[in-house]
Amino acid sequence: MSDATPKKRKRINVRRPDVMEKVQAEVQRHYESSIVEKIRANEGSLTVGHTTIKLARQFGFCYGVERAIDLAYAARKVFADNSIYLIGEIIHNQEVNRQLEDMNIVSLPWKEMNEQYDQLTEDDVVIVPAFGAPTSYIEKIEERGAAIVDTTCGDVMKVWRRVRTYAKQGYTSIIHGKAGHEETRATASRALGDAKDGHYIVILTLADTDYLCGYLKGEISSANLMKRFGHAVSEGFDPEIHLQKVGVANQTTMLKSETEEIQKRVCRAITERDGKTENFQFFDTICGATQERQDALFEMLKNHMDLLLVVGGYNSSNTTHLVEIGQEELPTFFIQNSDRLTSLQEIVHFDLEHKSEITTEYTNLLDTSKDVIVGVTAGASCPNNLIESTIQRIFELRGIDPKEL
């Protein structure tokens, strides 16, 4: 075989029964929580003294996240003596990614490929994260001959199939998502289609949607559209050509109600322009676990709570949407872990507007003789042990011995 010939390598199945038994025991040791399970069994509520914790009906790890973590742990056991790399982060959670670092799984850059990708060999193993990765990254890894352990979530791959179909049928994908997010970048690469002649445009907000619809209805020029979205379109994108037929898809962790509203507005604009809907398609591709956690929070908010804590990684999209839902109804704090509960008066949390950690004075917990109800939920990438430590910290600050739990 010449050096110019691609060294194609099949993806590796590491889910062997003997391996997975050890993996699941290790994962459980790292991330499970007896206190969380106790609260689950008690209809999501625990009261000690004057302090009540309410847990959402659905929170924390989803199946896709559990599978990704299992596969990463299994890869280290199967390839005990090999160099193992991971494209970016396995999921958006600092604790989980730290555990993988401790297992000597090395993170590769995900925003752009560098010389590390060129240095991969046939003896190396590369883990594709739960978000997936752009096709160019996969092609480079296969070219280098490295083994691939693919942990891409099944819900993400459903979106990929949809946007590939759009491209095959000559429809441009309108992707509801964050243009710089790992999953959206991976989806955008599939929106080019197998022939690489498809196109996409990424929009994030309803304001973006209205601007795009303004173009579709002839109210905004191509130049102004590209000025706003030029950073979030496929190479060679021409609005006059590539927005004649469109199909809406989405990053799986977006707010479902927002995606549905985007679909309606784009459909109306296309119908107004063409007098028919044949040039518009859509497909509901919101992740089931994301929707379950959003629905569970809406249900939780029907009952009184004094405050809500949302636990998870600050770069987690699905967790961010839980914060957005909560803060419409009551004081809501987005915390990475229990360390952010610094005292009964101060909470260090992530501010969505300023996109940074801030410290807020919150005094409603100060009077330990007063009944308080604290709601707790978490995104699909947050392990139970972080939820447990948050619950323990709340009780500790309220003067309750954790042994009483």
> What span, in angstroms and rounded, lies between the C-alpha atoms of 380 and 58?
9
Q: Residue 261 corresponds to which tokens in the numbers above?
A: 């509203």
One-letter identity of residue 126: V
The single residue of 26, 182, 183, 258 carrying the catalytic annotation is 183
Do the beta carbons of residue 319 and residue 334 sit within 8 Å? yes
User: Tokens 């997975």 — which residue?
Assistant: 20
Number of other CB atoms surrounding residue 402 within 10 Å: 14
258 is catalytic: no
The residue assigned the tokens 């409603």 is 364
The residues carrying an active-site annotation are: 183
